Amino acid sequence: MAGRKSERLINLVIALLASSRWLTRDEIRRSVVGYENLSDDAFFRIFERDKADLRSLGVPLETGSADPWADEDDAYRIRRDDFTSTALALTGPEKTLVALAATVWNEATLGAVTSVAAAKLDPAPLAPAPAAYALGATVPADDPALPVLWEGVFTNRPVRFTYHGRLRQVEPWRLILRRTVWYLVGRDIDAGPRLFRLSRITDRPHLKTRAPRFTPPAASIIDDCAAGLAEPAPTAHAQVAIRPGAAAALRHRGCVLAPTESSAPAGLEVPAGYDLVEIPYARVDDLVSEICAAGADALVLDPPRIRHLVLAHLRHTAGLAEAPRGGAADETTGPVSGGRP
């Protein structure tokens, strides 16, 4: 029964907290209510599981020995210093934020640990008013790999998972959320530091609880591994003709040029009914996608390479409705002539 087990675990915690010295396994078996009337085997099995359960709750249960010359570590203690409050001195508004943060996870595992953290760090709130800031957030956490990797990162223990068809041993350093996508930065024992996308992990990661804890590197080293995720700074400009009031996001990023002859690229005229907008860009593919999405509302004038790419994509899409029925089809290139390699 759950109640009996809870009683036994609480009694064990109280007994260890109340004792100023190591308690041996035998002393625990004799004195703690709940371990009486058990066979040796049953006691040993139940006590092992109880220790593991308490540790999983963050109870700092130490194993050692009262006798410095003993061969075996068969005594236990909980230092009251370890158990005492880590409560933060929070101001009223900060308490409200912590209460609000405890609502962010809609995933069961991380939601529960976050509620526990909020309760431990702020043991005296009693003001459940997260509406105060008119703010809310939900963190996408439904990736099945996340809880195990989380445990690995915050206990500094290695994990094992399959990625790109290979089983890897990884020291997990940092979890990164970019909008909806989780990444892990870590050291692949065989291949060195690298970035993993959680959605590309093809099995359920395994936490190596018996492996020694690793020491994570300096933050700057982790930052370097994550640098590939940063948005690159724009390195070039495109001249795009945009209809007034249309392609709003694209227009907002750019700078509308005065309608003078000199502003159009050499040999090209700004079409009637369009403004000329100069748009900074970093990645050609992203800009091409964005311009294609705007259809006739945004026409590229310059550079010609971007215009060719946009025209090729548009020719492909223009023929899409007549394409052979997709999905099951085996072709990997579109049926439309666009001249793209």
Partner 1 sequence: MSGSIDQVARLLLLIPFAQRHPGVSVAQTAARFHVTEQQIRLDLAVAFMCGLPGGLPGDLIDIDMDALDSDGLIFLTNADVLTEPLKVTATEAAGLTVALAAIREVAAPSVAALVDEVLAKIALTVPGVSGRTDVSLAAGDPAVRGSVAAAIAEAARIRVTYAGQARGVVTTPVVDPVRITAFGGAAYLIAYSLDRDDWRTYRLDRITAVEPTGQASSRHGPPPADDAWQSSLATSSTVTITVTADSLWITDYLPHRGFRPRADGGADVDLPVVDPAWLDRLLLSLGDTVVGLIPSAAATGAAERAQAALAAYRTAGLADDEPQR
Minimal distance, residue 144 CB to partner 1, in Å: 14
Out of 22, 47, 76, 173, the residue judged to bind partner 1 by CB under 8 A: 173
How many residues make contact with partner 1 (CB under 8 A)? 143
Is residue 28 within 8 Å of residue 38, measured between CB atoms? Answer: no
Q: Does 321 bind partner 1 (CB under 8 A)?
A: yes
Nearer to partner 1, 4 or 71 (CB): 4
CA 69-74-75 angle, to 5 degrees, is 95
3-state secondary structure at position 169: strand
Give the type of residue at 117.
A
| Bond into 303 cis (ω within 30) | yes
Give the type of residue at 22.
W
Near partner 1 in 231-270, by CB under 8 A:
241, 245-252, 268-269
* CA dihedral sign of residues 115, 116, 119, 121: negative
Minimal distance, residue 27 CB to partner 1, in Å: 9
Out of 24, 65, 115, 169, the residue judged to bind partner 1 by CB under 8 A: 115
Q: Does 119 bind partner 1 (CB under 8 A)?
A: yes
Q: Does 323 bind partner 1 (CB under 8 A)?
A: yes
What is the CB neighbour count within 10 angstroms for residue 184? 26
Near partner 1 in 41-100, by CB under 8 A:
53-54, 56-60, 80, 82-90, 93-94, 97-98, 100
Site stretch for partner 1 (CB under 8 A), options 67-75, 133-141, 204-212, 255-263: 133-141
Copy the structure tokens of residue 125: 């709130």
Q: If residue 112 lies in a helix (H) or strand (E), which one and from where to where? A: helix 108-121
User: Which residues, including other chains, have CB under 8 Å from residue 174's CB and lie 6 or more apart?
Assistant: 153, 184, 185, 186, 222, 226
Q: Does 31 bind partner 1 (CB under 8 A)?
A: yes
Site stretch for partner 1 (CB under 8 A), options 61-69, 152-160, 163-171, 254-262: 152-160
Copy the structure tokens of residue 213: 């804890």
Out of 70, 129, 177, 189, the residue judged to bind partner 1 by CB under 8 A: 177
Minimal distance, residue 71 CB to partner 1, in Å: 26
Task: Using the structure block, give the residue that is written with the tokens 């930052």.
Answer: 223
Out of 51, 197, 206, 237, the residue judged to bind partner 1 by CB under 8 A: 197
Near partner 1 in 292-311, by CB under 8 A:
292-297, 299-301, 304, 307-309, 311
Helix axes 146-155, 108-121, angle to 10 degrees: 40
Q: Does 193 bind partner 1 (CB under 8 A)?
A: no
Report the candidate in 217, 206, 182 with the shortest Cα–Cα distance to residue 196. Answer: 182
Nearer to partner 1, 32 or 74 (CB): 32
Out of 134, 227, 233, 258, the residue judged to bind partner 1 by CB under 8 A: 134
DSSP state of 242: E
DSSP state of 146: H
DSSP state of 273: T
